[in-house]
Each structure stands twice: as C-alpha cells, then as structure tokens.
Amino acid sequence: MALYNFKKITVVPSAKDFIDLTLSKTQRKTPTVIHKHYQIHRIRHFYMRKVKYTQQNYHDRLTQILTDFPKLDDIHPFYADLMNVLYDKDHYKLALGQINIAKNLIDNVGKDYVRLMKYGDSLYRCKQLKRAALGRMCTIIKRQKQSLEYLEQVRQHLSRLPTIDPNTRTLLLCGYPNVGKSSFINKVTRADVEVQPYAFTTKSLFVGHMDYKYLRWQVVDTPGILDHPLEDRNTIEMQAITALAHLRAAVLYVMDVSEQCGHSLEEQVELFKNIKPLFANKPLIIVANKCDVKRIAELPEESQKIFEAFEAEGFSVIETSTLTEEGVIQVKTEACDRLLAHRVDTKMKGNKVNEVLNRLHLAMPNKRDNKERLPFIPEGAITRKKRMEVDTPKRKLERDLELELGDDYILDLQKYWDLMNSSEKYDKIPEIWEGHNILDYIDPDIMRKLEELEKEEELREAAGEYDSEPESEDEEMMEIRQLAQQIREKKKLKILQSKEKDTRGPRMPRTAKKASIEHVQRKVLEKEMTDLGLDMTNKDDAHYVRRSRSATRKRKRDESVTPTSVARSRSCSRTPRDVSGLRDEKMVKKVKTMAKKAQKKMNRLGRKGESDRHIFDLKPKHLLVGKRKSGKTQRR
Amino acid sequence: IKMHEKRNTKQKNDEKTPKGAVPAYLLDREGQTRAKVLSNMIKQKRKEKAGKWEVPVPKVRAQGETEVLKVIRTGKRKKKAWKRMVTKICFVGDGFTRKPPKYERFIRPMGLRFKKAHVTHPELKATFCLPILGVKKNPSSPLYTTLGVITKGTVIEVNVSELGLVTQGGKVIWGKYAQVTNNPENDGCINAVLLV
C-alpha cells in the first residue's frame, strides 16, 4: 500500500546535479591511471568499464525514481484523485514516461559504445569513444531537465500531504468558507489549524485525531466550497470535493446561522442541495454553528422552516458554538455513533461477516436448577458508569481547589486524617505533655508487642500460610525446581573449591589454556559425569576418547589417504598451520622447499621485505663506462 | 614556359620615395615591388582541375593502409597474412552477403557497419538522421571507396526523402551527396554536411 510511502520517495536531483553527481562518481570509483604503452585489451577494458559504470549508475538512479513514485492506478482512488487534482494526472504520467524513455536511451547508448570500443586499437580512439558515450548520456539527462524539476516538486508536496487513512472511521467537515470548520476541528482534536476572519484560510486538507469509545477517529477539515458548477472549481475546492467523494465518512455540513461568513442562509442551503449527491450513503449531520451570536429560535420564520425541512428529511440539526463549546460534544457523539452503526451495517451486509460469525460461539452455562441467578454488578460500578456517561468530574481534586483559590491556596492534608473525634483534626499537636517530650514517645510495651507479633508470625509460617501451593505445580515444575536447587548447590561448591586453590601471582585465562591443551582430559570428564550419577565404566569406545593410530584403523582406507594426524605425536583438535591442507609427508616436504626457494631471491638481493626497492648501485660501472663496443650496455 | 607565365611586374612605388632632397648615399632605388603575379588564365585552369565541387572539407589527412586495414593472421601456424580487417567505420549495402569466409580478403566487422548518418543542411542549419545509400568517394584511396570505408572527408550519398525536396520539374529528390565532417571511428557516429 503506497499510503505512507509518500514520505520515502528518493530525492529527485535536478538535471545539472544529476550529471555532476554521476560523472564525479565515475571519476572516483573507477581506476584513473592508464598509459599509452599498456596492452590494448587493458586499455579497452579500462574505458569500457567507465562507460558501463556510468550507464549503470544512471540506470539505477532512474529506476529508483520510477519505482518510488506511486503509480496512480495502484493507490487508493482517494489519493489518485487528490494527486490528479493537485498535480494533473497527465503531466505526472508524462513526466514519468519521459524518465523511462531516458533510461532506455541511456542503456542503448552504453551498449552501442561498448560494442564499438571492442575495435578500438589505440588509447586515443578508446578515449574519444568513452568521451562520446558519456557525453551522449549526459545530453539525454540534460533534455529531461523539465521532467526532473516537476517530479522534485511533486515529491516535496507529496511528502507533506496529511496522512489520511481512507478506510478508517472519519468525520468530514464541509461547508462554505469561514463558517467555523477549522475552529471545530481545533476544539475536538489536537490539530492546530489556522483560523482567520478571511475566507479560504484553509487551503488544503487537514487531519486531526480524536478518541471516542476507545477508538481512534480521524477528523478531516476541508477548504470551503463555493457554489458553482464542477467545471469552474479551482484546485483548492476540488480537494474538498475529492475528499467528499472518496472517503466513506460521516459528513458534518457546517452552516453559519448568523451569516457572518458573508453568505446568506439561502445560499448555504443552495450549496447543500448541489452537493447532496456526494452525501449518498453517508451519515449526515447539519451543524448550525455560531449559535452564540444567533440562535435558530431567533431567526425569522422562513429560515426556521429550512431547518424544520432538514429535520423532516431525517438529517439531525445540532446547534453549536465553537466559541462557547456548546453542543460540540453532542455533535461528536452523534456523528460517531451514527458512523459506527453505519459501518457495522455495511459490514454485516458484506461477505466477510459470515466468516467471522461462523467462528464465534457464545457459550452459555447449563442451568443446574431453576433458580434465577442474575449478573451481579456492584453499586459503585453502576454509579461510576452513570457518571462516565454524564461526564461529570468524580470528586473535587486538590488541583481544582488550587486553581480556584489561586494565591490563597494552602495544602491542607490534615483534613484527610482519620481520627476518632473528627473535631480534633485541626488541633495543634503539643510538643511536651505531662512532662514528657512527645517526640521521644516510645510505647513502653513496644518490645512485648514486637515479640507477640513475631510469635504470631512463626505460628503462621508453621501453619503453612506462606508456603506456595503444591497442587498448583505439576510434575515438570517440581523437577525443574529440584534441578535448580542442585545446580545452585554445585555452583556454591565450585566457588568454594576455587577459593581454596593456592594461587600466587597472575594466572592465564581459561581460554588460553584451553587453546594450548586443546582438549579436556578424559579422566576429568569421566570423573565429573560419575559425580553427577552417570555410569562411566565402559566408555573405551566413546567418541570423546582419543585413540592411537592403530586403534583407528577399523575401516579400510586407501593407502594414500592417511588420517589427518600426520607427523604428530599427539593428536589435537586443531591442525598447525604449516601442515594444514596437506595430504602426506611428501607434500609437506615439497611445500617447505618451495617456501625456502621463494625466500632465496630476497635473501640474495638483501631485501628487507617485498616492498624494499633500494638499489645499492645506481651507476654500475659495467654499464656506464666505455665505448659501445662489446655487450653489457643493455638499454642505456 | 613557367617563367613566361609569371611576369615580373615592376611597379613604381611612389610612397617610398622621400619628398625633398636626399644625399646620394641615402638614395634608395625606387621602391619596386616585385610581385609575381599569376596570370588569370592559370588561376582559372587550376580551379577547373580541382573539380566542380566546393566541398566543406577540402583537404583531409590521407589514411594509410596500415591505419585502415589490420592484418589478420590465419592458418595452422598463424603464418598466413593475406586477410585484412577494416578498423574504420564502413557502409555495406542492403543486399550485402559475405563471401565464403575462406576466400574473403577484406573483413568488415558487423560492429563497425553503420547505416545512418547525421546530416546537417548548411542553410537550414538543421540536422537530420538520414539513411546512407552508398559511399561515393573516399579521398584517401579508391580501394576504400569500393570497400565502403567512411572516414573524414568521404563523400556519401544519403536518402533525403525526409526533407521533402522537389526539383523544378516537380520530381521528388530522394538522394543527395553529403560529406563526412568528423572522425566516425572516434565518435561512434557519422556527422555529415549536405552538399547543396
């Protein structure tokens, strides 16, 4: 689903940047040194590599662009329509088509020039061909300048579109400009849409989220729609129309009763009638906003009749004021309830319901006698539920008190004390009473009471009140507990043992020791196992036993293939490096002689290492002296 | 005869003679410009000899055989060296079929065969990609002409039906000559200028 991938489209570079990028990349990532005297196949390969590399880069980048941009046919029709409104579908498709063509052209150029370069017989010719190839590819990209610019702008705008999920519960606000849609959404959700007195403050769709009945709801704010036919609408209004057309949402048609928006009530009703076809199959609520200025009851007769007509048609009319927040919550609950009911209905009518219904089964317990047993709901729950519905605060919080009193507020915890005589709550506590310091007060019986308590605790423990239930654990758990106990004991023993060891000075870490010895002693292993209770008496044939060479010759083997323990007195688990990979002694000898031979030249020349190129005698006499008569002046 | 053709003209150069008296040892001879003036007739004859065409690329560097044709060694011990492979761009006609490989002396590889040229109309200053009809003349050697090798300065015949030219009599022109202006083997394409 390409919904949220709008933010992950790769940046489309401008033509100039694209060319610079790719060429500099070719410069950096391919070898740069070539000489005339190299062999021709090397020269050819060098230049072919550059051409291919550049072609590959362009190809990759262009493919990336093509796949990242959403295909208008694959995304949700709401987004497809929105993109058509904002970016013009034809232009968009054309731009992407041009990029595709450019990609193919570049591929062809690359192929052709690589083919030609096979016949290049000199460095100059190959170089010119490479230059021509790269130049051609870059010209192709230069011609795409317009498309690339357009796509970059589209990408930037796309990534800033609000993420509207077309399938979830949505409330859609529509109406004339300046009627109060944005103020409504600001009130109901945490969105912060700009509210200004001029029309068309909102120029695009905005989303806000709110919670109701433990579900997430989207509220979509649209730019205002004016009353003219579809063809005359501009881009901003078309966005609103698109949202109306494609989102399955509850529609809140907001009207301005006080006519402060600049359009009369009749005009608003006209608009309503015109866009009514878009409301098909959607729960609709008429929101009469700005009722703090003018209520419906204050309106003249004809206007009131309009509202009565609405009521008659079955659309509920709710008066609200976003300023005083009157009726806002009512609108919200009504819209959400109706939308939920509508969605449930559609789901029930659909096919998927049956799948779910088949799997649901409500199990009722069998009645064992005729006694009626009603469900028990405690009083507190009922009162709390009632209070939730009414939405009143439970009790006056300290915070509320603090806000009320403002500066006068003093934190008074003493009112919560639970005393026998409640009138004594605010009495001052004396510091000295009957000659004693109150702070020094210790109950003289305190020790006795403590002892009594402890005895009680012991009795309780003996009685088994604190024991965990044995029936709750099954056999497995018991075994596991036993094992855990054993492990703990063993661990403690080992710790004590290691402490007893007489060590002086630093000790090698265990891993080093392990590597040097390379195996655990058989005796140690067997001892440990017997300690644990296993029978280790007859284990000569076990896999962990190291055997001498005679004992291993149980299977018939080729004479040439001897076991890996070659030329070693004691077998180890890891073969030493100088004989690893070698079959027999003959090979080992040969390898050793080869190694020595390789060192001969270095030793003879007195070189310190492979990279030592020091020349001891820069001007050898036998080469630089004498006339050119006899030999010995090679290439002077 | 040559001397007869080039007359020495002695013209009196008035400007160099100083005005006023000058001592004898400073007297110059009258400035005479000796100009070898070629007689008009010779000029005309030369022009005629150069041909009827004034081509955009009058002189080109001659391409030697070693440059254009590469020796291909064949035979069991690679000793025979009678085959040659063309290393420049060439044009073979539509109905071209190779001779049997055993007998073909000149190999024109497929990778180097081009069919189209980018032809510029000198007056319209527009370039068209026109199919080549044939190679008319290669300035380096008639051998190259017969082989169809296209180098800089080669005159080729192109199919100009795309341009929609019409003769006085109303007939449609569909073939015209053009001269190649770049080194096709270095650029990978044939750029030519139409000879109007």
Residue partners of A263: CB distance under 8 A and separation at least 6: A176, A256
pLDDT at position B15 is: 46
Q: A633 by DSSP, 3-state: which?
A: coil
Picking from A149, A139, A6, A3, the residue whose alpha carbon sits closest to that of residue A78 is A3
Whole-number CA gyration radius for chain B: 27
State how far the Cα of A202 lies from the Cα of A194, in Å rounded to an integer: 7
Q: Quick one: pLDDT band at residue B69, thresholds 50, 70, 90?
A: very high
Picking from A222, A186, A226, the residue whose alpha carbon sits closest to that of residue A202 is A222
Q: Quick one: pLDDT band at residue A343, thresholds 50, 70, 90?
A: confident
Q: Where in chain A are the domains?
A: 15-160, 170-350
Q: What is the pLDDT of residues A123-137, one digit of tens each?
A: 999 999 999 999 999
The whole-number average pLDDT for the span A459-466 is 85
Q: What is the pLDDT of residues A44-96, one digit of tens each?
A: 999 999 999 999 999 999 999 999 999 888 888 888 988 998 998 999 999 99
CATH class of A170-350: alpha beta
What residue in A sits closest to B68 (Cα-Cα)? A121
Find the CB nearest B188 among A118, A121, A129: A129
Provide the number of structural domains found in chain B: 1
Is the pLDDT score of A146 beyond 90? yes
Burial A565-583 (b: 16+ CB within 10 A, else e): beeeeebeeeeeeebeebe
What residue in B sits closest to A124 (Cα-Cα)? B186
**Binding-site residues on chain B for chain A (CB distance < 8 A):** 70, 87, 109, 111-112, 183, 185-189
User: Of residues B14 and A313, which shows the higher confidence score?
Assistant: A313
The whole-number average pLDDT for the span A224-246 is 83
pLDDT at position A591 is: 92
Is the pLDDT score of A98 beyond 90? yes
Q: Quick one: pLDDT band at residue A594, thresholds 50, 70, 90?
A: very high
Q: Is B54 part of a structural domain of the chain? A: no
Residue A398, sorted as left (phi over 0), alpha (psi -120 to 50) or beta, turns out to be alpha
Min Cα distance B136 → chain A (Å) is 24
State how far the Cα of B133 lies from the Cα of B160, in Å rounded to an integer: 10
pLDDT at position B53 is: 59
- Protein fold of A15-160: Four Helix Bundle (Hemerythrin (Met), subunit A) (1.20.120)
Min Cα distance A21 → chain B (Å) is 24
pLDDT at position A130 is: 95
Interface touch B188/A121, C-beta < 8 Å: no
pLDDT at position B27 is: 61
What residue in B sits closest to A131 (Cα-Cα)? B187
- DSSP-derived secondary structure for A607-632: -SSTT----S-SS-HHHHSS-S-SS-
List the B69-74 sheet strands across, edge first: B69-74, B80-86, B106-107
Q: Are A210 and A217 in contact (CB under 8 A)?
A: yes
Q: Quick one: pLDDT band at residue A517, thresholds 50, 70, 90?
A: low
pLDDT at position B31 is: 47
Any chain B CB within 8 A of the CB of A19?
no
pLDDT at position A258 is: 81
State how far the Cα of A6 lies from the Cα of A74, in Å rounded to an integer: 13
User: Of residues A384 and A536, which shows the higher confidence score?
Assistant: A384
State how far the Cα of A569 lies from the Cα of A3, in Å rounded to an integer: 70
Interface touch B186/A128, C-beta < 8 Å: yes
Interface touch B188/A132, C-beta < 8 Å: yes
Find the CB nearest B188 among A113, A121, A124: A113
Q: Which of A108, A115, A116, A130 has the highest number of chain B CBs within 10 A, making it the mutation to test binding with B?
A: A116
The domain spanning residue B101 has which CATH number?
2.40.10.310
Interface touch A125/B185, C-beta < 8 Å: yes
Q: Quick one: pLDDT band at residue A319, thresholds 50, 70, 90?
A: confident
Q: What is the pLDDT of residues A548-583, one digit of tens each?
A: 555 445 555 444 444 454 545 555 578 888 888 888
Interface touch A121/B70, C-beta < 8 Å: yes
Q: What is the pLDDT of residues A350-369, one digit of tens each?
A: 777 777 778 888 888 887 88
Q: Helices H, strands E: what count in chain A?
A: 21, 8
Is the pLDDT score of B2 beyond 70? no
Find the CB nearest B111 among A118, A121, A133: A118
- Please name the amino acid found at residue A524: V
Contact residues on chain B for A125, CB-CB shorter than 8 A: 185-186
Q: What is the pLDDT of residues B130-142, one digit of tens each?
A: 999 999 999 999 9
Q: What mean pLDDT value characterizes chain B?
A: 83
| Predicted complex: ipTM over 0.90 | no
- Please name the amino acid found at residue A151: L
State how far the Cα of A345 lies from the Cα of A336, in Å rounded to an integer: 14
The whole-number average pLDDT for the span A494-521 is 71
Is the pLDDT score of B67 beyond 60? yes
Q: Are B124 and B110 in contact (CB under 8 A)?
A: no
State how far the Cα of A397 lies from the Cα of A407, in Å rounded to an integer: 17
Interface touch A129/B186, C-beta < 8 Å: yes
Q: Are A33 and A47 in contact (CB under 8 A)?
A: no
Interface touch A119/B112, C-beta < 8 Å: yes
Is the pLDDT score of A536 beyond 80? no
Q: Quick one: pLDDT band at residue A635, thresholds 50, 70, 90?
A: low
Instruction: Please tell me the total number of residues recorded for chain B in this structure.
Output: 196
Min Cα distance A14 → chain B (Å) is 27
Q: What separation, in Å, do the N-terminal and C-terminal C-alpha atoms of chain A show?
A: 75
Q: Which two tokens stand for residue A389?
A: 């519905």
Which range has the worst mean pLDDT, A278-292, A300-314, A325-339, A508-522? A508-522
Min Cα distance A112 → chain B (Å) is 8
Interface touch B186/A125, C-beta < 8 Å: yes
Give the β-pairing of B191-194 and B116-121. Answer: parallel
Find the CB nearest A128 among B111, B112, B187: B187
pLDDT at position A561 is: 47
Find the CB nearest B87 among A115, A121, A133: A121
pLDDT at position A602 is: 84
Block residue for tokens 């694959």: A74
User: Of residues B19 and B85, which shows the higher confidence score?
Assistant: B85
Contact residues on chain A for B190, CB-CB shorter than 8 A: none
Q: Are A106 and A140 in contact (CB under 8 A)?
A: yes
Q: Is B12 part of a structural domain of the chain? A: no
Task: Centre a 10 Å sphere on the Cβ of residue B79 and count the other Cβ atoms it contains.
Answer: 8
State how far the Cα of A250 lies from the Cα of A340, in Å rounded to an integer: 9
Any chain B CB within 8 A of the CB of A135?
no
Q: Which of A119, A128, A136 has the highest number of chain B CBs within 10 A, making it the mutation to test binding with B?
A: A119
pLDDT at position A106 is: 96
Picking from B195, B168, B167, B165, the residue whose alpha carbon sits closest to that of residue B180 is B195
Q: Quick one: pLDDT band at residue B23, thresholds 50, 70, 90?
A: low
The whole-number average pLDDT for the span A478-503 is 90
Min Cα distance B186 → chain A (Å) is 5
Contact residues on chain A for B187, CB-CB shorter than 8 A: 128-129, 132
Q: Which two tokens stand for residue A113?
A: 């020039």
pLDDT at position A1 is: 43
Q: Write out the residue range of the structural domain in which residue B74 sits.
A: 65-194
Q: What mean pLDDT value characterizes chain A?
A: 83
Scanning chain B, the segments in alpha helix (DSSP H) are 2-5, 40-49, 65-68, 142-147, 184-187
Q: What is the DSSP letter of A291?
A: T
What residue in A sits closest to B188 (Cα-Cα)? A129
Min Cα distance A102 → chain B (Å) is 19
User: Of residues A204 and A484, which shows the higher confidence score?
Assistant: A484
Q: What is the pLDDT of residues B89-99, one digit of tens each?
A: 999 999 999 99
pLDDT at position A154 is: 93
Percent of chain A with pLDDT strictly greater than 70: 89
pLDDT at position B33 is: 47
Q: What is the pLDDT of residues A282-300, one digit of tens each?
A: 888 888 888 888 777 777 8
Any chain B CB within 8 A of the CB of A128?
yes
What residue in B sits closest to A119 (Cα-Cα)? B87
Q: What is the pLDDT of residues B152-187, one digit of tens each?
A: 999 999 999 988 888 888 889 999 999 999 999 999
What residue in B sits closest to A115 (Cα-Cα)? B111
Q: Quick one: pLDDT band at residue A264, thresholds 50, 70, 90?
A: confident
Contact residues on chain A for B185, CB-CB shorter than 8 A: 116, 119, 125
Interface touch A129/B109, C-beta < 8 Å: no
Give the β-pairing of B69-74 and A436-437. Answer: unpaired
Q: What is the pLDDT of residues A599-634, one digit of tens each?
A: 888 888 888 888 888 888 888 887 777 777 666 656
